[in-house]
Amino acid sequence: MTYLGVIEGGAPSPFRREPAGLFWRRRARRPGGALAPVPHSDAATRFAEVCAAIGGTTMLHDLMPDVVTVSFGSRTEEIRDRLHARGWTFVGTGDWQGDPVLGVSFAGDRRARLTADELADALIAIVREMEVAESRIW
């Protein structure tokens, strides 16, 4: 085998790897041929559970295994701004059927479980602050 043949693709290379298929194609299939759902990471699951336990939230359909998408209704933008002010700048906003939503990705975070717990604590504190401010008579 010559190097020229490897470069031009004429000869097989011992270093060539077949590209892996898309992730959703590698998932196990259920009986009947349907793809099994991809399980959420532990961090995403924990954070989603905290969000669901906070009153006035809407958890959206699970689109990706490491992304949590949640709506706090009219409070969504203010919650995002307060999270950003506390340093949680990776929390983004989007629009889902006309409603603002928060999107949090735990993909690629080696400290995802710790990050989820810390972010959940910050979120709970922010929601508590907002509820206290709304209940005060000025």
The whole-model pTM stands at 0.67
**pLDDT at residue 40, as a whole number:** 60
Residues 60, 106, 121, 49, Cα dihedral to 10°: 40
**Which DSSP symbol is given to 104?**
E
**pLDDT at residue 79, as a whole number:** 95
* Cβ contact 70:102 at 8 Å: yes
Domain annotation for the chain: domains and CATH numbers: 42-135 (3.90.1150.10)
**pLDDT at residue 48, as a whole number:** 87
The angle subtended at Cα 111 by Cα 21 and Cα 84, nearest 5°, is 105
* Cα–Cα dist 91/101, whole Å: 10
Three-state secondary-structure class, residue 99 = strand
Give the pLDDT confidence of 87-133 residue by residue, as tens digits: 999 999 998 888 899 999 888 767 787 888 999 999 999 999 998 98
Give the pLDDT confidence of 45-73 residue by residue, as tens digits: 888 888 888 878 888 856 677 888 999 99
